[in-house]
Amino acid sequence: MSTDSLALLRKNAGQDIAALAEEHLKHDLQDTDRDALKSAASKISTHVTIGSLVGLGLGTFLAFRLRRTRMQMFNTLRAKEKPTHVKFADGREEALPDMTPYMRPSTLGDVAAYTFFGFGGLFFGGETGVLTGSASAGRTITRDPESRERIETAFRRFRADVLRKEADSLDTRSGVKEVLGL
């Protein structure tokens, strides 16, 4: 499993692309544009962090509820009178085994429930944070139409530079392993 699977652990792009982006930030944008972009980035980060924590808490809470429900069901089944024999139509009687020990909630089951519900909540909360943070960041960037136009132009130029750099690196590589990055 890659660390990119969880929104909270995703890293930025490579150092060379980050340097290229920094150059575009310096030359193509004004100070207010840079402040708007930094504010938008911090909003996304905040939303992802809060979403991940809420998701982790929700997953843990659901695992706790599941464990408690399983224990209540087990105690109810254990207290009930259970049939011990089955009588067939021909008069024959067969004993039924006691399944109670096999239905008892185990520590391994509890660990699995807390683990899977915790990771599921972390994933769900983090991805929800990415969505809400992106929407909030988008509103921050598009608030001023002139600033939005400058940011879009700088982003288009940045993407073109990244694609040029990628094309140049593909042209210089010779083997299949190098092209695929293996």
* Residue among 154, 151, 133, 131 nearest 143 (CA): 151
Q: What is the DSSP letter of 80?
A: S
More confident residue, 84 or 10: 84
* pLDDT given at position 21: 72
Tell which phi-psi region holds residue 51, choosing left (phi > 0), alpha (psi between -120 and 50) or beta. Answer: alpha
CB atoms within 10 A of CB 126: 26
Please, which pLDDT band fits residue 46 given cuts at 50, 70 and 90?
A: very high
Phi, psi of 105 (to 5 degrees): -60, 135
Residue-wise pLDDT for 90-147, tens only, equals 989 998 888 777 788 889 999 999 999 999 999 999 999 999 999 999 898 888 888 8
pLDDT over 60 at 7, yes or no: no
pLDDT over 90 at 167, yes or no: no
Give the three-state DSSP class for 54: helix
* pLDDT given at position 11: 56
pLDDT over 70 at 25, yes or no: yes
pLDDT over 90 at 65, yes or no: yes
Q: How far apart (Å, rounded) are the C-alpha atoms in residues 19 and 100? A: 64
Residue-wise pLDDT for 132-163, tens only, equals 999 999 898 888 888 889 888 888 888 888 88
pLDDT over 60 at 5, yes or no: no
* Residue among 50, 43, 55, 12 nearest 135 (CA): 43
Mean pLDDT, the chain, whole residue set = 84
Q: Tell me the C-alpha to C-alpha distance, in Å, between residue 133 and each of 128, 129, 140, 178.
A: 8, 6, 10, 36
